[in-house]
């Protein structure tokens, strides 16, 4: 026994250190093994297209044929030459409007539904599924379904308005320059709303009930308890959801393309950065067979990325700062 314990005590320290280093290296290899596939996929499908788009934006193109180095000419043409500058500014305004309306809907109605669901008891899962179900549908399917519902001749929306005595409000919702974009935004909100509701609900369920109960004991009304206790704790969740909404809305394309085409009809009233990019880069057969201009399209894509990236980074910084102050 004494010999065994003596042997144990005289094991050199560098041996134990070597074992620890080997274990650490083994763990690192496991981490790399699991992360490598995701990194490869991310590089191939995200980093490479982004760098390619950046490179293409500095090249002069004749259709899809490279002509040589263009410097910043593509960016100057998109930003300062008509009609590209006008179309870019109009599409940017529509994207901002798209985001603002979606944000207002999700932080009012969406948050209200999440609070109601948080107190919904046994029916929580049922209503949560009902609200989340549209989000699982493809935007192509949603666009097609609402095209049928909004048809000015036999669509169910105008028929329903006539049924309840509001026939005067019936109109070609997607054919009117005033109503086309708001209608698409509402359709998008119908599909999107289930996601922020689920995120808000998860945030509410993570807030201890004891805090709200303590405020009620101190004499606070339910509204005061929500405003001064629950809402401040929920602000980081609302902030992150706002950033995700901004990214989603500034990448809007599929729904508008399905419902209105790449031309942003009627007369560019539904044109956004995504459709403007597509129409410029690949052409638009619906407006006379325009030839695609890869250089200009790549410049638009780079500008979109810079705007989304800058706003997202600023938003995350503000959220982190708010969390530190709290």
State the virtual CA torsion across 255, 258, 261, 267 in degrees, nearest 10. Answer: -60
Please tell me whether residue 124 adopts helix, strand or coil conformation: helix
Specify the pLDDT at position 117. Answer: 84
Q: At residue 154, does pLDDT exceed 80?
A: yes
Domains of the chain: 20-56 (no CATH), 73-325 (1.10.3720.10)
Q: Which of 16-30, 33-47, 100-114 has the lowest mean pLDDT?
A: 16-30
Q: Which of 30-39, 85-94, 139-148, 152-161 has the lowest mean pLDDT?
A: 30-39
Report d(CA 295, CA 302) in Å as an integer.
Answer: 11
Specify the pLDDT at position 7. Answer: 46
Please tell me whether residue 293 adopts helix, strand or coil conformation: coil
Q: Categorize the per-residue pLDDT at 65 as very low, low, confident or very high, splitting at 50, 70 and 90.
A: confident
The answer to whether 181 and 270 have CB atoms below 8 angstroms apart is yes
Over residues 236-247, the pLDDT tens digits come to: 889 899 999 999
Q: pTM for the full model?
A: 0.81
For helices 180-192 and 231-250, angle between their N-to-C axes, nearest 10 degrees: 120
Q: Categorize the per-residue pLDDT at 291 as very low, low, confident or very high, splitting at 50, 70 and 90.
A: low
Q: Which tokens is 115 given?
A: 């609070």
The answer to whether 130 and 190 have CB atoms below 8 angstroms apart is no
Strand 59-62 with 65-69, pairing: antiparallel
Q: At residue 42, does pLDDT exceed 90?
A: no
Range with the largest mean pLDDT of 39-53, 80-94, 223-237 = 80-94
pLDDT, the chain, mean: 82
Specify the pLDDT at position 4. Answer: 47
Q: At residue 1, does pLDDT exceed 80?
A: no
Q: Categorize the per-residue pLDDT at 116 as very low, low, confident or very high, splitting at 50, 70 and 90.
A: confident
Report d(CA 203, CA 211) in Å as an integer.
Answer: 14
The answer to whether 138 and 249 have CB atoms below 8 angstroms apart is no
Q: Which of 22-31, 77-86, 188-197, 225-234 has the lowest mean pLDDT?
A: 22-31
Q: Categorize the per-residue pLDDT at 217 as very low, low, confident or very high, splitting at 50, 70 and 90.
A: confident
Over residues 68-79, the pLDDT tens digits come to: 887 888 888 888
Report d(CA 267, CA 231) in Å as an integer.
Answer: 42
Report d(CA 248, CA 199) in Å as an integer.
Answer: 15
Burial (0-12, 13-18, 19+ Cβ within 10 Å), 304: buried
Specify the pLDDT at position 326. Answer: 62
Please tell me whether residue 155 adopts helix, strand or coil conformation: coil
Q: At residue 16, does pLDDT exceed 90?
A: no
Specify the pLDDT at position 2. Answer: 43
């Amino acid at each position: 026994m004494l010999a065994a314990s003596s042997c144990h005590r005289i094991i050199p320290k560098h041996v134990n250190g070597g074992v620890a280093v080997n274990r650490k290296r083994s763990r690192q290899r496991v981490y790399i093994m699991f992360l490598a596939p995701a990194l490869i996929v991310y590089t191939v499908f995200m980093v490479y297209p982004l760098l390619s788009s950046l490179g293409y934006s500095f090249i002069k193109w004749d259709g899809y044929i490279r002509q040589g180095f263009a410097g910043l000419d593509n960016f100057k043409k998109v930003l300062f030459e008509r009609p590209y500058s006008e179309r870019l500014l109009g599409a940017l305004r529509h994207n901002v409007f798209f985001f603002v309306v979606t944000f207002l809907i999700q932080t009012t109605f969406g948050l209200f539904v999440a609070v109601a669901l948080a107190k919904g008891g046994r029916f929580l899962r049922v209503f949560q599924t009902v609200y989340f179900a549209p989000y699982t549908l493809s935007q192509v399917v949603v666009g097609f379904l609402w095209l049928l519902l909004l048809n000015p001749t036999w669509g169910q929306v105008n028929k329903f308005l006539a049924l309840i005595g509001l026939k005067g409000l019936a109109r070609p919702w997607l054919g009117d320059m005033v109503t086309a974009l708001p209608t698409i935004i509402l359709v998008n909100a119908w599909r999107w709303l289930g996601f922020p509701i689920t995120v808000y609900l998860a945030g509410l369920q993570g807030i201890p009930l004891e805090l709200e109960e303590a405020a009620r004991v101190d004499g606070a009304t339910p509204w005061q308890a929500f405003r001064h206790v629950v809402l401040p704790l929920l602000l980081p969740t609302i902030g992150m959801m706002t950033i995700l909404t901004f990214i989603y809305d500034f990448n809007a394309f599929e729904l508008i393309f399905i419902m209105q085409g790449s031309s942003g009809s009627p007369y560019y009233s539904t044109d956004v950065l995504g459709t403007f990019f597509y129409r410029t880069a690949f052409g638009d057969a619906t407006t006379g067979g325009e030839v695609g201009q890869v250089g200009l399209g790549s410049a638009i894509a780079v500008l979109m990325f810079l705007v989304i990236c800058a706003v997202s980074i600023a938003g995350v910084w503000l959220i982190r700062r708010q969390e530190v102050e709290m």
